[in-house]
Every structure is written in C-alpha cells, then in structure tokens.
Structure 1
Amino acid sequence: MHLIELLKNWPCTVKGEWRDVKIRSVTEHPARVSRNSLFVARKGARFDGHQAIDEAIAKGAAAVVIDRPVSSLKLAKWAETGTAIVTVPDSSRFLSYSAAELAGNPSEELQVIAVTGTNGKTTVTHFIGQLLKETGVKAAVIGTTGCYIDGKRLDIPIPSLTTPTAEYLHPLLQVCRLEGVTHVALEASSIGLERGRLADCAIDIGILLNVGTDHLEDHGGREAYVAAKKKLVTLSRQVIVNEEDPVCMKMAEDAAVPVYRFCRSEYIGCLASGSMISKMPTGLHNRLNAMAAASAVRLLGIPEQVIERSFSALALPPGRLQLAESVNRRVYIDYAHSPDALEAVLQAVSGLNPKRLVCVFGCGGNRDREKRPLMGRIAEKYCDHVVITSDNPRDEDPGMIAQHILHGVKHPHKIEVELDRRTAIRRAVGSSGPDDIVVIAGKGHETVQIINEDSILFSDYEEAMEALKADQLL
C-alpha cells in the first residue's frame, strides 16, 4: 500500500520523501523492521520507540511515525536518509489503523465474538469454538493459549499475550480468513482494551463475563480497570452480559447497542435443560462459562436444539482443571490466579468429595499485591493443607510474596511454605493419600516460570506427572 493511501484520512505532517513510498508491513518493534516497513515509534510502558528510530532507518524502514515533538536537527538528519518522517496526533491509534489496513481489514469479513472478564475468557472462547465446530462452522479461537482453528493450534509465532497487539492481530485474522474461517472467538483483556488493540477490529458480539480482583495495579485502581473492560461495550455491535454479576450489568446499562443476558440456568431466553447441564464440565463457574458460550452461538442463529446436542463436545482448554491422575489419586492443574478464580476451582473440586484436599499455589510478582492475602484466606477455607510456593516472582522476592499471602491466613497449622515450585509439587503429590485431590493453581497451561528476567522451562502438568511417577503412584 502506498504511504499516501494510509495517510489520506489522518491529520499529519510529513518530512522527507513520501509521494512514492510503498509500505508492506507495520511494526513498533525495531527487531521486526525490514525493507518497506513502517516503524511506529510509540512510547510504551517499558520502551520508548524514539530510541530505536536510527536503528529502524538503518534496517530500511520506508517511513517512521512519531507523535511527539523532536528537534529540527533530528528531523533533518532522519529526512536526509530518504525516510519519510510522519507526525500524527496518536501513534498507538495509528498503529492499530495501519495494521488493519495493511491486512485488508479482515475482521470486517469475519464474525468476531470478543470476550472480556477477570476469569473465564479462555474457557468461554474455546467453548464457543467447540460449539461452532459441532454445527459445521469453521471457527478460530485466539487468546491466552494461542490461536486455534477447529481445535488445532496454529504454529504461528505471536507474543504470549491474552489479546495480541494490533500488528499481530490483524495479520492473524487475515490468516484465519485465508484458511476459510468465518467466525472468531477472541479474548479481550482489560490491558488490550485500554491500549486500543481492538480499536480497529470489527466486533459483532461482545461478552461481559465478570469483574473480580486482578490487574488493578496495572490500571491504577478498580475504577480504571472497570472502565477498561467497559470499552468492549462501545466496540461491539451487540452485547451479552452475565446478569449474575452486578458490575457487568452496570457496565451495560447505558449501552447504545442491543443487550442480551445469561445466567447459570438460562442463555438469552432459553432455559438450560437437565441434559445440557449434565454435559457441562465440573464447577458452577464452568456452567456459567458454558451458558455464555451458548448465548453467543444462539445469537449467531444456531437453533436451540442444535446447541443442546452440541454440548456433549464441550471440553476444557489446556490448564483449566487439567487432570493428571493415578489409579486412586487425582491432581488438577488450573490457571486460577485471582481470588475469584481460585475459590471457583476449589469449590468445584470440593464437590468431587476428596478425602483430603491439598492446594499448591503462589502469586505472581509485580502484580496486584492486595489479592495475595485474599487468596491465602480462600485456600485455607477449602483445603485441608496448603503449600504456598512461588508462581512467576519476576523481580520480587518470593519469600516476601509468600508473607503477603500469609497475612490472610487464620489457621497457620494448615499452611506450609516451600518456595521451590518443583519441590512444593513433589511434596504435595507425594504426601497425598488414596482418594485425596491435589490442586496446583496459578500457571495452568504455561510452560515457563519467570524469575527476574529469565524464563525457565516449567510445566505444572509435567511436574505433577513426574511427581506421580517418582512416588510410583502411576
């Protein structure tokens, strides 16, 4: 696409050569710049793109986009290289727009269902994909665990983000379209919504699941967190809302688009039959997730009786109540890393009537300190024994994180602290008895543990299986 075509609807000023410039790709990452790239020098939370403009130009960037004043000397220097220097009011917004344009605006030819909520986004999007597949619709699922088409994971290098940034999202949607996909279920994180990653994605249905305690520090407080999630209402052509969550209901009350409701017993006007309920995965939270998915599929025009038949295909995605088991021992791995999610999982597993319930969990570093004591309190409420360990401590002291969790504990005799996660898992599984259940919470599908700046290979599921083998429990 010619640069002039990208700029025609944007207020901007341009220095250097621009009339015959052709753009093949757009990026904010200097490492991804190549010949005919458009480099957007956006200022992020950790990196300022202005620092990489010289590098981008040296790599052959055809144009550079900025949104802040720079010295006339710098402008002249960059323009002398033959690179077009474009100044726009908002580089983040322009990055989103240009990524969609260069990909051919694929979302406009797809039916996109975007799901937001503190908990359950991954499960609901996968449930939607499974229900659509059962009805003969080719669907993609994009989110925390990657991109799937008809249940098969695509081997595409994209960042490990709940909601991909625009420069990855729109090319990914283009791939889906070329593969014959007609519907996409997409996770919409609060960070993704706040930072405009979906600003140029045409969303047919937005789903509001729940609002809990997570990512509050990232947004500067609960009010800003709710406001970020509410952006999905304005981006969607119609909205489905969990009527059991008063915050979600409040978010949707002034919507300018049609609003539909669901709950654990009903999906937009259709009552859940006993047959449907019996086919749902374990836990009241998953019953709610299933009804959210059924609501989306029903709104897409799938008949009620077809949806009911399709419920037998529902299966939880990786790392969501994922079972590692021996003859008489069960270990469940779950991504639950917020108070609401941990309580839902422990409540669900308690319903399986274990002889003893043991939980291994920690809290991530550089994230929401206020949730830590709440999770300690919840774990001791449901469990006979709790092992507090490290999660992804990042650059925080794991021992200090554990102390924050212990602040919520009222019965310390139930609690053990073992900061080495591998040892914690081995100890919990090895000391479990027949008919006990061990829950390993916090990391789910993740395959690395982040310690300082290092990402170390680590899988809770694999560690659980090794623990079972080590104790000859398999």
Structure 2
Amino acid sequence: MELLDSRRLTGPGLLLDRPGAVADVTVADDRRDDVIAAWRDAVIRMLNAVGWGGERIVARRFAGGASLAITAPPDALYAAADLNEWAWAAAEAAIRHEPEPDFEPAAERLREAIAGERNPGMLAIRSAARSRGLTFLSGEETVSVGAGTGVLCWPAGDLPAPDRIEWSRAHDIPVALVTGSNGKTTVVRLLAAMAAAAGRVTGVTSTEGVLVAGRPLAEGDYSGPEGARLALRQEEVEVAILETARGGLLRRGLTVERAAVAVVTNIAADHLGEFGVQDLRQLAETKLLVARAVGARGRVVLNADDPVLVESSAGIRAPIVWFSMEAGNATVQQHAERGGAAVVQDGGALVLLAGWERQIVARVDAMPLAAGGIARHNIANALAAAGAAGGLGIPLDAVRSTLARFGRDPADNPGRANVYDVGGIRVVVDYAHNPHGMTALAATLDTLPSERRLVMLGQAGDRDDQAIRDLARAALALRPDRVVLKEMDAYLRGRAPGEVPAVMADELRRAGLPDGAISAPGTEIPAVREALAWARPGDLLVLALHQERRGVHELLETLRERGWTAGEPLPDPA
C-alpha cells in the first residue's frame, strides 16, 4: 500500500461535483474493499471532529488501487488534503494492525489549519457571483468575478463585502474550453484567428503560453488553471479560447465552470495509468468534464469519428455539434435527422449542417492548413473549429476567411507540421507526442518525395514503457533510414537520464531497425545537429520538437541565410 498523490480539487472533477481533496493510492485488489472501508471510517470520524459532518465521501476503484475523495469548504482545501492523508494513514495502520496515528492531536491541528485558512469574505463573494450567474475565480492571491471586459478583481486578503461591489460592471464573455488527445493547440489557434478576423480581442491559453490580442503575456505551458485565470482576468479580452489539458482537470478539477463552448477533439491512448485513469473510457470521462461548464444555450463540439467519444456522450446535457471526416457518418446522420447541428467533410468541402440545411464553409483544396487534402488531421481540426465558432458569436465570413489563409505562414501554427527547405533538404518540425499524432503525421508526409528519411523523436518520462514503445513503433510508419532519439531532460519525471531513449531504441531494434540506424546523442539541440550533419541533398528530416523550437528555428534560418548545403559542416554552436 502506498500514497501516490494527494491534492486539492478547486472545482468539479471525476469524483466530486464541487471542491474537495483527493488521494490516489496503490492497494492490492483483494484488500481494496477493506482498505476503503477503513479509510471511510477514519474520514467520518475526523470530519465530525472538525465540524464537517455534511461532506461527501467518494472512492473510485481501479486495478491495483483507488482514488479517495472528500468534499470540503472551498476556503479550507489545504486542510482537507491533510485530513484525507491522515485518514489514509489511519486506514493503513488498521489494515496492518498497527497503532492509529494520534487522533486528538491531529484533530486539533486540523481545526487550527481550518481556522487559519478560512476566508468568509471569499465565500460570500463566491456565493453572490454564482447567484448572479457570473464566473468566480480564486487563486494566485486574487479573487475575481466576471471575465474579460467584465472582470472585477481584488486581493484575496482585502475583499469587499458583496453589497459594496458594483455588480452592474461585472459580466462574462464567451469562453471556449478545448481539450482532447491531439489537435488542441491547433484548434485553439484556429478559433483565435477566427475571432480576431471578426474584430474581437482574444485571450488565448495553450501549452505555448498566454496571448492577449496576439501579444504574449506569458510563455510556457499554460493549459491549466493558472493560464485560464490569467487570461480571463485581462480587462481588454472580449472572447477567450482556453486549451484545457487533462492534467489540470485531474489535478485541480474544472477551473472555469461557465463556458459557451467546449470542444473535445479525440481520445487516444496517452497518459494512461496516471491519477487512476487506466483506459480510454476513463480518459474520455476526464476530458468530457469540460462539457459540464456548458449550459443549455451553449454547444459541445465532439468528434463523431471517435467511437469512444460517441459512446461517452450520452450524459451530456448541452446541445452537441458533431464533426466528422465522413458525410455519411451514422452518428451525424441520426443527429441531423433530429434537427441537430454538425460539420462534415463532403465532396471536398467543409459543410455546416443544421438539420437538413447545408452551408459550405470552405473548400479543402483552398485551405493551406489541409496541404492539398493530405493533412487529414488538420481537416479534422478545421471541422472542430468551424463547429465551435458560432457558439462564440463568430460570423461565418470570419470562419471562411480564416480557413482560406491560416497555415500559409508557419507562424500561424508554429511547431505543427512546419516545413523548412534549407540546403537541399526538407525539414518538417512537428509536436507529435503520441502514437496517434505520429501516425497522422506519417500519413500527411507519406507522398513527399525523398532520397532518405530521418526521424528524431523522444518522450516524457511519465509514460509507461509500453506507451514509449508504442510511440517508437508508430514512428516507423515514416519509413526512416535513421532514427535519432532525444533526451527530454525537462520531462524526465522520475526516470533516469538515458532511460527513455533506451526503451525506444530497444523497440526499434525489435522492429528490425539495425543498430547503426539508431543514435541517442542527448537533448534536442544536439539531436537536431546530428540529424542535419547526417543529411544529404534530397533527404527528408522529421523532427518531433517539444522544448527547443525557437532555437531550432533560429538554427535553420541561420543555415538558410549562410547558403549552407547539406553535407557541409555545421556552424559551431553559439
């Protein structure tokens, strides 16, 4: 038995419909029920001791463990996590027939912690905002109501009484929550471009950072709660498009509980095994948390070509807009017969369906992002964005104009199938980070002519060995003559240096790639330099980049400016 993780939930999550705390534990399946019963007994006793008798207690079982959760007042979540950890320790002791951790000292310590955390002013504003149907956000030492042009913010330690707030100044703005295993960032960028084409000031969050009106406000991975709060608290923002990662949903729950649109692009095997999510159905349940934020006047945009999403959509209460690469998709057809909306690819065009009414949104061959129709994953991303745009109040003309130009410039969608022709070789830079993404990239590049092919790839250490092997094997669809394995040193996440590349190399050898065709020179920049040094005119290099995209872009531009030709020595590193 082991406590794997203990965390606060600031919003609704997989187990709870309101804030609380959750702990993930390992326990043998044959002892799990006894352990959960002992934990529940300890929780009840301690909840009563601290005066929280009305809270919910929930356990979710999974192979080899469980997630143990309790609801709690929103202004005492650190104490709630401590309480949950004490209850787990008490359960461990009971199962092992050991003395229980001292109850009364723990109860007194928790009562003091609760008193120290209490913020009745925050709870009063939260209640007043919710009663008015307004977004409420707390965190980062700030409390806010409303969003964007209608946001009001205060320091968490200096809050006004609700009756002193000018509620007439507070309002929400259209918000889209975008999640899925692949394509999230591209859909976010498309929606942001569509909103900008309609003259709206956008607030955008993604794994790349936070942008306001296209200007960077913060750089890095802001696809979680911190990014959402930062974007929604910018007073000039008129519409927000928020990439909403699975990790943030599992760690903190649903931060934004009011949205006009939620988008789920697809469900693919990635991150399985983390936080007790062990299969695709549980992963779909996690990602579909974003649908809870959408009301009856909003829309939830889902991939009708994804059987797991179709199966998991039954409990969604908001109107659904399906998108599909096939006009004859059975889910779309049944939905249209009932008067529902959808966006499909039909006869080389993106077509918006409202019942049996049809409107052509764009021709695929006129969409730069579609690369003449071979980038099928980007056609799907365009369908998702087109389906979401109307829910944000973006007119169809802005959708059309965006799809007609987006992707001409690599800066439109950096790191996503960006092509550089330099020194007689072609270099494709992409974010492909899971087998689904790698397979889609291989399909896109399948017909590109090349003398030889090289693939550079790597993986974060938080994936299990099988997921790492699956990515390595998926890369073979690119038919590489050489594979360069990179170390993702910022994402070791408990792995030893060199461990992930070694697993990948072993899988590539099992698949028949000779030792001489595999190398592991280190982190991204050394790996890219090795790939370029190997190349000769006519070759294709496919570089899966995650950390050093800017540095690689600068290197490739430097080579182009200097007239470098493949086969010549590379300039010394700066």
Structure-2-length-normalised TM-score: 0.61
Q: Relative contact order, CA 8 A, sep 6+: which one is greater? A: 1
Q: Alignment partner of 1:331: what SS?
A: strand
* Cross-structure match for 2:78: 41
Q: Alignment partner of 1:308: what SS?
A: helix
Contact 1:425 1:464 in 2 (8 A): no
What displacement does 1:469 show? 8.2
Q: Per the alignment, do residues 149 and 97 of structure 1 end up closer, same or farther by CA in structure 2, a change over 3 Å counting?
A: closer
Q: Per the alignment, do residues 459 and 364 of structure 1 end up closer, same or farther by CA in structure 2, a change over 3 Å counting?
A: farther
What displacement does 1:394 show? 4.2
Deviations 1:2-55 (A, max 9, x none): xxxxxxx99999x9xxxxxxxxxxxxxxxxxxxxxx89636889xx9xxxxxxx
Q: In structure 2, what is the Cα distance between the partners aligned to 1:10 and 1:208? A: 23
Q: In structure 1, what is the Cα distance between the partners aligned to 2:104 and 2:427? A: 56
Q: In structure 1, what is the Cα distance between the partners aligned to 2:486 and 2:172? A: 46
Matches within 5 A, 1:194-209: 194-209=250-265
* Cross-structure match for 1:461: 553
Deviations 1:273-316 (A, max 9, x none): 42664332442111111121111113444444442233233134
Contact 1:362 1:389 in 2 (8 A): yes
Name the % identity: 21
**What is the Cα-based RMSD across aligned positions, in Å?**
3.9
* Cross-structure match for 2:118: 86
Indicate yes or no: 2:241 matched with 1:153: no
Q: In structure 2, what is the Cα distance between the partners aligned to 1:243 and 1:41? A: 40
Q: In structure 1, what is the Cα distance between the partners aligned to 2:501 and 2:553? A: 22
* Cross-structure match for 2:232: 173
Q: In structure 2, what is the Cα distance between the partners aligned to 1:417 and 1:442? A: 17
Indicate yes or no: 2:198 matched with 1:99: no
Contact 2:137 2:145 in 1 (8 A): no
Contact 1:261 1:268 in 2 (8 A): no
Q: In structure 1, what is the Cα distance between the partners aligned to 2:545 and 2:398? A: 35
Unaligned runs of 5+ in 2: 1-17, 21-46, 51-74, 86-102, 127-134, 149-170, 326-344, 354-358, 567-574
More strand by share: 2
Q: In structure 2, what is the Cα distance between the partners aligned to 1:73 and 1:328? A: 72
What displacement does 1:200 show? 4.1
Deviations 1:413-434 (A, max 9, x none): 2841224133332221122122
Q: Alignment partner of 1:41: what SS?
A: helix
Which of these residues, 340, 358, 362, is aligned with residue 454 of structure 2? Answer: 358
Indicate yes or no: 2:477 matched with 1:388: no
Contact 1:260 1:268 in 2 (8 A): no
Q: Alignment partner of 1:102: what SS?
A: strand
What displacement does 1:268 show? 4.2
* Cross-structure match for 1:296: 388
Contact 2:367 2:406 in 1 (8 A): no
Deviations 1:71-92 (A, max 9, x none): 465468779xxx744399xx9x
Contact 2:205 2:231 in 1 (8 A): no
What displacement does 1:256 show? 1.1
Contact 2:179 2:246 in 1 (8 A): yes
Q: In structure 2, what is the Cα distance between the partners aligned to 1:374 and 1:10? A: 36
Matched to 1:320, the amino acid is: R
Indicate yes or no: 2:428 matched with 1:332: yes
Indicate yes or no: 2:323 matched with 1:241: no
Deviations 1:176-231 (A, max 9, x none): xx11x211111111122233443443111111100112111223312432221121
Q: Which moved more, 1:204-213 or 1:411-420?
A: 411-420
Higher gyration radius (CA): 2
Q: Per the alignment, do residues 398 and 412 of structure 1 end up closer, same or farther by CA in structure 2, a change over 3 Å counting?
A: farther
Q: Alignment partner of 1:109: what SS?
A: coil
Indicate yes or no: 2:404 matched with 1:312: yes
Q: In structure 1, what is the Cα distance between the partners aligned to 2:476 and 2:446? A: 13
Matched to 1:441, the amino acid is: A
Indicate yes or no: 2:539 matched with 1:420: no
Contact 1:106 1:170 in 2 (8 A): no
Matched to 1:99, the amino acid is: S
Which of these residues, 214, 222, 232, is aligned with residue 290 of structure 2? Answer: 232
Q: In structure 1, what is the Cα distance between the partners aligned to 2:471 and 2:563? A: 29
Q: In structure 1, what is the Cα distance between the partners aligned to 2:194 and 2:457? A: 32
What displacement does 1:375 show? 1.6
Indicate yes or no: 2:540 matched with 1:437: yes
Matched to 1:418, the amino acid is: A
Contact 1:281 1:287 in 2 (8 A): yes
Deviations 1:422-464 (A, max 9, x none): 3332221122122322111141xx349xxxxxxxxx9443455
Q: In structure 2, what is the Cα distance between the partners aligned to 1:286 and 1:325? A: 21
Matches within 5 A, 1:248-259: 248-259=309-320
Q: In structure 1, what is the Cα distance between the partners aligned to 2:119 and 2:394? A: 47
Q: In structure 2, what is the Cα distance between the partners aligned to 1:260 and 1:185? A: 17
Q: Per the alignment, do residues 130 and 71 of structure 1 end up closer, same or farther by CA in structure 2, a change over 3 Å counting?
A: same
Q: Alignment partner of 1:352: what SS?
A: coil
Q: In structure 2, what is the Cα distance between the partners aligned to 1:190 and 1:280? A: 26
Structure-1-length-normalised TM-score: 0.72
Unaligned runs of 5+ in 1: 1-8, 16-37, 49-67, 449-457
Q: In structure 2, what is the Cα distance between the partners aligned to 1:254 and 1:400? A: 42
Q: In structure 1, what is the Cα distance between the partners aligned to 2:111 and 2:478? A: 66
Which of these residues, 179, 187, 193, is aligned with residue 249 of structure 2? Answer: 193
What displacement does 1:371 show? 1.6
Deviations 1:146-203 (A, max 9, x none): 111232222x47x7342234xx63343111xx11x21111111112223344344311
